[in-house]
Chains A and B, each alone.
Chain A
């Protein structure tokens, strides 16, 4: 019901008229935006947002927004998400105008850094306030990139989930399964980026190509809107005689779908098939039957479309939305973020976020005064300082692992089992 009141105009427009904006945020987002093929994505409004001027200068996007204040001294966010968030809050109106007039806003961003993690949630909120459907495509950093980036990325993901309609999240670590030993760093990043771009392309095709069996815009909205869920997606392609079988096999071993498990775990699945004009009904049927068997009690929305350029290829995009009960309940208790009394709303938002202990908190909004305080505080802080003060503890006794000192540690659920059990459990022997 919320949907209807928010975007009455959208329901009336035809499928082709929808304005879609693709917004790249942060260094990763901007460079991924550039990899999107201009011809294929003709008609989309490309917007690049970053705090770093050089990355923007290199971008080919039509609209570039440079978030800058003198407090940053032209140095970007320095990998600090709080700083990114503060500056995004400051320029909230700019972000809102950037999203204006779009029915669907696709946010592309690499979480973990300062700009991506900080700005994306705020941008999602801004886009939501303009009444658009917000889908975020984000990558999580590799584990080797360090704790802090992981933490920032997780936090930002939670915030995104609570504001955006749908978050499609690609943990880069999963892409490790796709690469082998010899893949260079450059290729690895291209592959992870490529996966994300495939997802964007899948949704794009879904929204713009004429369908034989159409997926209505409403269907997509119904699937993702206000679900605040984390979805898995996969885009696979095959050609030749056995292509329908091949795509299903590829789907079921797709690392991003956890080898098909994500399908069974999800509570709604959207399947979009796209083929050349030789696409047969039997093929569509075969693919759907196989997918249906893997997710029996799941709502499936399917669409099929023909693209002359596809020749004998068949591509399938699957978005599996997982139910997020915690976030849903928090969404229900949070008033809809359309417009109006900003201040009051933010207070209630903050309150729900605080009370709902585990569920994701939305990007906190600051008033002007707070915002300036935070920015000033951040700018005055030494650049290298850790984001949180941590009380260091010196180990009271050095625990020797005895004969296992030099062997590979046996770690089970984060515990080093080589350390004597009684020491880890703190059993006193007197």
Chain B
């Protein structure tokens, strides 16, 4: 039905669900979401694979569902990765301009970027992203493209996101085992921010917090570039676990209570109210105080925001977030989440909307699918960039090779 080369798939192997989003890239480069497949995830803990066989099955189900819905065959995916091992930091690369006329050439720019990437990472880590922020020429900042400028020294600030090679490879290998090509791995937080933020918001400065089941990913944009990223391996699962522990109910029940009666702030009208939980025959099992439920939940969520707030404060970024904070992920569904976040972060908070993408309304409205949509968007931006470069001959060659590969 669709031209295969225009199909871009984002796959997110989350802690609560596996989600595949199929996007179709129009000729003008815009992305249209045409399919969505999801499956409950059973083998992931804190964003990382714990039971490969189960995950494999879940991924297969999600992919099949997405294929059916979009009526395409999925061959390659952009894979989202997360986990507590993923870290981001800023690094500066320096390179002296050696040419006689002091004109900065493309090679100089390549060199300085290379220098900025040459960081002392632990041996077992690999770089996931290295995003250019700004160039400095002779110490003057704010240069976006220094090629052709004159200067003696060129510097570049990069934001580098890196993670443990083995743990990243686990997910990649699993997807490859399903005969899917992994085009690229993308950190989940970055993907979410890509789906939510407009370029104006990036310019103004914005914080995206993706509260998933296993991890909370956050990304800070300011002046149009990524300034800070972080992954906290705490999420909705922790809330359920806390409830299970505090209310002395099994996890499945805690999960259900969270969805039905949860709130990020303690509802004053609920104080003193109780709930009776019943077994499948309708017999009362236990009475639960709603206030306790909400207090336990509120404390956990509050802590997540506090950790993020202190991290941003340390990075000195709190004053740059003029566009405010955007929440997404399953956690964004919790009632009263925005007021809680507002109270702690002292910034305007709203639930993120994927406005810049068209397609299935049912998919775009859900905060849970933001990451997967962002992955597809990442893919479309990437392929748009490479598309311009491929000649006709290369195009033919790639169609032949892809044909042979079948």
Rounded to whole angstroms, the CA-CA distance of A399 and B299 in the bound complex is 17
Which of the residues B234, B246, B303 comes within 8 Å of A429, measured between beta carbons? B246
| B296 interfacial by beta-carbon distance below 8 Å | yes
Say yes or no: A407-B45 contact (C-beta < 8 A), given A252-B94, A417-B234, A423-B245.
yes
Is B84 touching A408 in the complex (CB atoms < 8 A)? yes
Rounded to whole angstroms, the CA-CA distance of A422 and B266 in the bound complex is 14
Q: Identify the closest chain A residue to B139 (Cβ).
A: A293
Is B299 touching A427 in the complex (CB atoms < 8 A)? yes
Is B50 touching A253 in the complex (CB atoms < 8 A)? no
B118 / chain A contacts, CB cutoff of 8 Å:
253
Is A402 touching B241 in the complex (CB atoms < 8 A)? yes
Say yes or no: A402-B244 contact (C-beta < 8 A), given A245-B96, A407-B45.
yes
A399 / chain B contacts, CB cutoff of 8 Å:
245
A341 / chain B contacts, CB cutoff of 8 Å:
none
Q: Identify the closest chain B residue to A180 (Cβ).
A: B123
Is B84 touching A422 in the complex (CB atoms < 8 A)? no
| A255 interfacial by beta-carbon distance below 8 Å | yes
A422 / chain B contacts, CB cutoff of 8 Å:
242, 246, 295-296, 299-300
A181 / chain B contacts, CB cutoff of 8 Å:
123-124
Rounded to whole angstroms, the CA-CA distance of A252 and B116 in the bound complex is 12
Rounded to whole angstroms, the CA-CA distance of A79 and B257 in the bound complex is 55
Is B296 touching A420 in the complex (CB atoms < 8 A)? yes
B214-245 interface bits toward A, Cβ cutoff 8 Å, 1 = contact, 0 = none: 00000000000000000011100110011011
Is B295 touching A427 in the complex (CB atoms < 8 A)? yes
Is B295 touching A410 in the complex (CB atoms < 8 A)? no
B303 / chain A contacts, CB cutoff of 8 Å:
417, 421
Q: Identify the closest chain B residue to A403 (Cβ).
A: B241
| B277 interfacial by beta-carbon distance below 8 Å | no
A408 / chain B contacts, CB cutoff of 8 Å:
46, 84, 233
Is B295 touching A421 in the complex (CB atoms < 8 A)? no
Q: Identify the closest chain A residue to B124 (Cβ).
A: A181
Rounded to whole angstroms, the CA-CA distance of A429 and B295 in the bound complex is 9
- Place the interface of chain A in its size category: 20 to 34
Which of the residues A249, A293, A407, A425 comes within 8 Å of B299, measured between beta carbons? A425
Q: Identify the closest chain A residue to B152 (Cβ).
A: A289
A246-288 interface bits toward B, Cβ cutoff 8 Å, 1 = contact, 0 = none: 0001001101000100000000000000000000000000000
Rounded to whole angstroms, the CA-CA distance of A56 and B328 in the bound complex is 65
| B292 interfacial by beta-carbon distance below 8 Å | yes
Is A177 touching B120 in the complex (CB atoms < 8 A)? yes
Q: Identify the closest chain B residue to A254 (Cβ).
A: B120
Q: How far is the CB of A144 from chain B (nearest CB, A)?
A: 16
| B53 interfacial by beta-carbon distance below 8 Å | no
B299 / chain A contacts, CB cutoff of 8 Å:
421-422, 425, 427
Rounded to whole angstroms, the CA-CA distance of A249 and B96 in the bound complex is 11
| A189 interfacial by beta-carbon distance below 8 Å | no
| A400 interfacial by beta-carbon distance below 8 Å | yes
| B270 interfacial by beta-carbon distance below 8 Å | no
Which of the residues A180, A259, A404, A427 comes within 8 Å of B45, measured between beta carbons? A404
| A418 interfacial by beta-carbon distance below 8 Å | yes
Rounded to whole angstroms, the CA-CA distance of A274 and B45 in the bound complex is 55
| A2 interfacial by beta-carbon distance below 8 Å | no
| A412 interfacial by beta-carbon distance below 8 Å | yes
| B307 interfacial by beta-carbon distance below 8 Å | yes
Rounded to whole angstroms, the CA-CA distance of A427 and B297 in the bound complex is 12
B234 / chain A contacts, CB cutoff of 8 Å:
410, 417
Rounded to whole angstroms, the CA-CA distance of A54 and B244 in the bound complex is 60
Which of the residues A259, A410, A420 comes within 8 Å of B246, measured between beta carbons? A420
| B180 interfacial by beta-carbon distance below 8 Å | no
B295 / chain A contacts, CB cutoff of 8 Å:
422, 427, 429
Say yes or no: A407-B50 contact (C-beta < 8 A), given A402-B251, A427-B299.
yes
B307 / chain A contacts, CB cutoff of 8 Å:
412
Is B232 touching A400 in the complex (CB atoms < 8 A)? no
A383-418 interface bits toward B, Cβ cutoff 8 Å, 1 = contact, 0 = none: 000000000000000011111100110101000011
A420 / chain B contacts, CB cutoff of 8 Å:
238, 241-242, 245-246, 296, 300
Rounded to whole angstroms, the CA-CA distance of A245 and B119 in the bound complex is 17
A429 / chain B contacts, CB cutoff of 8 Å:
246, 289, 292, 295-296
Is B233 touching A410 in the complex (CB atoms < 8 A)? yes
- Among A401, A408, A425, the one with the most B-chain Cβ atoms within 10 Å of its Cβ is A408
Say yes or no: A404-B241 contact (C-beta < 8 A), given A410-B46, A421-B303, A422-B295.
yes
Q: Identify the closest chain A residue to B242 (Cβ).
A: A420
Q: How far is the CB of B269 from chain A (nearest CB, A)?
A: 19
B244 / chain A contacts, CB cutoff of 8 Å:
402
Rounded to whole angstroms, the CA-CA distance of A412 and B215 in the bound complex is 13
Is A421 touching B123 in the complex (CB atoms < 8 A)? no
A245 / chain B contacts, CB cutoff of 8 Å:
96
Is B241 touching A407 in the complex (CB atoms < 8 A)? no
B293-336 interface bits toward A, Cβ cutoff 8 Å, 1 = contact, 0 = none: 00110011011000100000000000000000000000000000
Q: How far is the CB of B2 from chain A (nearest CB, A)?
A: 40
B251 / chain A contacts, CB cutoff of 8 Å:
402-403
Which of the residues A249, A255, A410, A421 comes within 8 Å of B242, measured between beta carbons? A421
Q: How far is the CB of B308 from chain A (nearest CB, A)?
A: 11
Rounded to whole angstroms, the CA-CA distance of A427 and B234 in the bound complex is 20
Say yes or no: A253-B46 contact (C-beta < 8 A), given A293-B139, A402-B245, A420-B246.
no
Q: How far is the CB of A309 from chain B (nearest CB, A)?
A: 29
Rounded to whole angstroms, the CA-CA distance of A180 and B125 in the bound complex is 12
Rounded to whole angstroms, the CA-CA distance of A253 and B84 in the bound complex is 26
Rounded to whole angstroms, the CA-CA distance of A425 and B50 in the bound complex is 30
A255 / chain B contacts, CB cutoff of 8 Å:
120
Q: How far is the CB of B377 from chain A (nearest CB, A)?
A: 29
B272-303 interface bits toward A, Cβ cutoff 8 Å, 1 = contact, 0 = none: 00000000000000000100100110011011
Q: Identify the closest chain A residue to B293 (Cβ).
A: A429
Q: Identify the closest chain A residue to B291 (Cβ).
A: A429
Is A407 touching B46 in the complex (CB atoms < 8 A)? yes
Q: How far is the CB of B16 from chain A (nearest CB, A)?
A: 12
A412 / chain B contacts, CB cutoff of 8 Å:
232, 307
Is B238 touching A417 in the complex (CB atoms < 8 A)? yes
Rounded to whole angstroms, the CA-CA distance of A407 and B119 in the bound complex is 30
Q: Identify the closest chain B residue to A402 (Cβ).
A: B241
B300 / chain A contacts, CB cutoff of 8 Å:
420-422
Which of the residues A180, A249, A403 comes within 8 Å of B237, measured between beta carbons? A403
Which B89-120 residues have C-beta < 8 A from chain A?
94, 96, 115, 118-120
Rounded to whole angstroms, the CA-CA distance of A9 and B94 in the bound complex is 46
B115 / chain A contacts, CB cutoff of 8 Å:
249
Rounded to whole angstroms, the CA-CA distance of A418 and B299 in the bound complex is 13
Which B113-142 residues have C-beta < 8 A from chain A?
115, 118-120, 123-124, 139
Rounded to whole angstroms, the CA-CA distance of A245 and B296 in the bound complex is 57
Rounded to whole angstroms, the CA-CA distance of A423 and B242 in the bound complex is 9
Some 15 contacts from A to B, beta carbons below 8 A apart, are A180-B123, A245-B96, A253-B118, A293-B139, A399-B245, A400-B245, A404-B237, A404-B241, A412-B307, A417-B232, A421-B300, A421-B302, A422-B296, A427-B295, A429-B296
Given A402-B245, A403-B45, 11 new contacts (CB under 8 A): A245-B96, A253-B120, A259-B119, A402-B244, A404-B241, A407-B45, A417-B238, A420-B296, A422-B246, A422-B295, A423-B245
List the 3 shortest-distance A-B pairs measured between CB atoms, nearest first: A420-B242, A410-B233, A421-B299
